[in-house]
Amino acid sequence: MDLAGKPDHDSIRVDKWLWAVRIYKTRSLATEACKNGRVRIWGQVVKASREVRIKDEIDIHLGVFHKTVRVLALLHNRVSAALVPNFLEDLTPESEYNKLKVQQEMKPEFRPRGVGRPTKRHRRLIDRLKNTKEHS
């Protein structure tokens, strides 16, 4: 807001921008991430109320994954996933995406929804598969 009480359109709160470009599912999750020091602008930890400007570099820590983006444009409302590249430039190194891929591969076995619990036979096969991986 400027002195006349009109909205200042050359900046926006960092939590609102992160939500609008779909980095966080809800604005409260974006606010919480800022509170916990997982969001940095130009290397400095920021509060949720920090204003973002065009060309700012934002580092976001999402678990073991560290995403780096550059602000290309400001927006006040959430946009569809197809439009997100118009508002940010992804500067995340390829090695971070490789880390994410490895982490997803290390997750426990996947069971499709609605299939139910494994039978005794399937559980034994799963245990046998896990044990062969550990001893390899």
> Does residue 101 register a pLDDT over 90?
no
Residue 83: phi and psi, rounded to 5, are -90, -10
Q: What is the pLDDT of residues 1-54, one digit of tens each?
A: 444 344 556 889 999 999 999 999 999 999 999 999 999 999 999 999 999 999
CATH of 12-99, one of 3.30.70.20, 3.20.10.10, 3.10.290.10, 3.30.530.20: 3.10.290.10
pLDDT of residue 134: 54
Going from N- to C-terminal start, the domains of the chain cover 12-99
More confident position, 81 or 4: 81
- Indicate the residue type of 80: S
pLDDT of residue 129: 81
Amino acid at position 21, single letter: V
> The whole model's pTM is what?
0.72
In the chain, the amino acid numbered 6 is: K
Buried b (16+ CB within 10 A) or exposed e, 38-73: bbbbeeeebebebebeeebebbbeeeeebbebebee
Which of 7-16, 28-37, 72-81, 114-123 shows the lowest per-residue confidence on average (mean pLDDT)? Answer: 7-16
